[in-house]
Amino acid sequence: MAQIKPSLAKGTRDFSPLEMEKRNYIFDTIKTVFKKYGYQEIQTPSFENLQTLTGKYGDEGDKLIFKILNSGDFIAKISPEKYTTLNANSLTPLIAEKALRYDLTVPFARYVVMHQNDITLPFKRFQIQPVWRADRPQKGRYREFYQCDVDVVGSESLLNEAEFILIYKEALTNLGLRDFTIKLNNRKLLAGIADIIGKPDLLIDMTVAIDKLDKIGLDGVKKELISKGFDDADLAKLDPIISLSGSNSDKLATLKQVLKDSEVGQKGLEEVDMVLTYVSKLEAPALDNVEVDITLARGLNYYTGSIFEVKTNEVAMGSIGGGGRYDDLTGMFGLKGLTGVGISFGADRIYDVLSELNLFPESTTKGTQVLLTNFDQSAEDFALQLLHSFRRKGIASEFYPTTAKLKKQLSYADQKKIPYVVMLGTEEVSSGVLTLKNMTTGEQQKMSKEELLNIF
């Protein structure tokens, strides 16, 4: 076989031991909080039937789904006449029946429907697994990345939303982040705004444009709105909304005025207010991190109520988390009337943020504690017994697998940061006096096997 140059697929990464330690620290921290709030873990397969995924993320999303080519001679199953009528879009379902999961929410919805007889509502689950997107990589954006999702299905209570805010606050704080904003919006507020302008069909265009305020400024937003079909009278009505500012209660007060003639808008206001009220009852200080932001446009294709997005203010990075409520989460799989709400942490972006801020703890796990040297074949039996004794005591230990120069073995211990080395050769075996070297101080101590084992 021809030798090929080793390389990674675009947008993917290897994780070395040191990186895995840090990644696991993030997963463990988040997982601990999830459990504390009563969520149970599930996993679903890396790939789903393509049908399960398509049509759930909008046209843009569908393009970013990684499809898996069918096995076998799939081309033979398409008649030549039919083939000529196909384009890239219509050909795909004929040659790819499976696809890598794009997020964890849709597979979860499928899971709920398939296991509806086994689960009790409300069902609170968390899930930490990789997802794949055929996007072009850039800062904080990978083609394979981990999401940490918590969702609850079958509960309309806004208490869930409030608890998600607390979960964000607690997990991110535990990870060492200090300055982050949990943005809160509600689809019904946006619908209300589109309502009073009288252009409910343009809801998404309107929100997407307003969402760009930070990037393109007020004039840019107005320009985009006009290009989407809004007129000057609409802009006049939108103006107080786009430039909404002040505290959360200020914003809600202004919105109350603006939306007084919209039923759905009023409902949205009530919901936002209720979420904030619950947070204040559970843990009022968390409100400091919450910002009502009606420009938040995330996931408009599917969210129906609350919308969340989390950003760190300490480094420039896209959102490190997001989520929201779907009134009919499982409807697309035939189970009607089941509401779901959930949030997600972007573990890979959080990793990048913690790296940049130097927030990883010194060392999060303990490696090998003792290395038994190997420079003498005749000492092997003795060494293996000792190794076994260490391991029986639960001490992470290694026997250097081949006879080699002591220099090399000590370098190995040094590099792996193994704190203790036991010198073992013919001399030690015959005398029964072992030498323990402390790699930090360089000190050596002579002792019997029993004494040695008692130290650990």
Partner RNA sequence: GUGGUUUUAGCUCAGUUGGUUAGAGCGCCUGAUUGUGGUUCAGGAGGUCGUGGGUUCGAGCCCCAUAUUCCACCCCA
Positions that interact with RNA (CB under 7 A): 5, 7-12, 58, 60-61, 64, 103, 133, 135-143, 145, 147, 208, 212, 215, 297-299, 301, 309-310, 318-322, 344, 346, 348-349, 375-376, 405-408, 410-411, 413-415, 423-428, 435, 437, 439-442, 444
Structure tokens at 425: 């050769």
What is the β-pairing status of strands 306-312 and 370-372?
unpaired
State residue 443 phi and psi, 5-degree precision: -70, 150
Minimum CB distance to RNA smaller for 288 or for 427: 427
Dihedral over alpha carbons 180, 185, 190, 192 (to 10 degrees): -140
Answer for the pair 305, 324: CB distance below 8 angstroms, yes or no.
yes
Distance of CA 123 to the CA centre of its chain: 20
Minimum CB distance to RNA smaller for 213 or for 274: 213
Minimum CB distance to RNA smaller for 189 or for 379: 379
To RNA, the closest distance from the beta carbon of 261 in angstroms equals 29
Rounded to a whole number of angstroms, the distance between the first and last alpha carbons of the chain is 50
Element (H, E) at 311: strand 306-312
Q: What CA–CA distance (Å, rounded) separates 51 from 59?
A: 14
Structure tokens at 132: 């794949």
To RNA, the closest distance from the beta carbon of 384 in angstroms equals 17
Q: What CA–CA distance (Å, rounded) separates 383 from 423?
A: 10
Block residue for tokens 């947070």: 279
What is the β-pairing status of strands 180-186 and 290-292?
parallel
To RNA, the closest distance from the beta carbon of 381 in angstroms equals 15
Minimum CB distance to RNA smaller for 157 or for 435: 435
Minimum CB distance to RNA smaller for 310 or for 338: 310
Minimum CB distance to RNA smaller for 42 or for 221: 221
What is the β-pairing status of strands 434-438 and 420-423?
antiparallel
To RNA, the closest distance from the beta carbon of 270 in angstroms equals 25
Minimum CB distance to RNA smaller for 109 or for 269: 109
To RNA, the closest distance from the beta carbon of 291 in angstroms equals 16
To RNA, the closest distance from the beta carbon of 142 in angstroms equals 4
To RNA, the closest distance from the beta carbon of 301 in angstroms equals 6
Is the four-CA dihedral 200, 203, 209, 211 of positive or negative sign? Answer: positive
What are the distances in angstroms from CA 313 to CA 13, 30, 320? 26, 20, 11
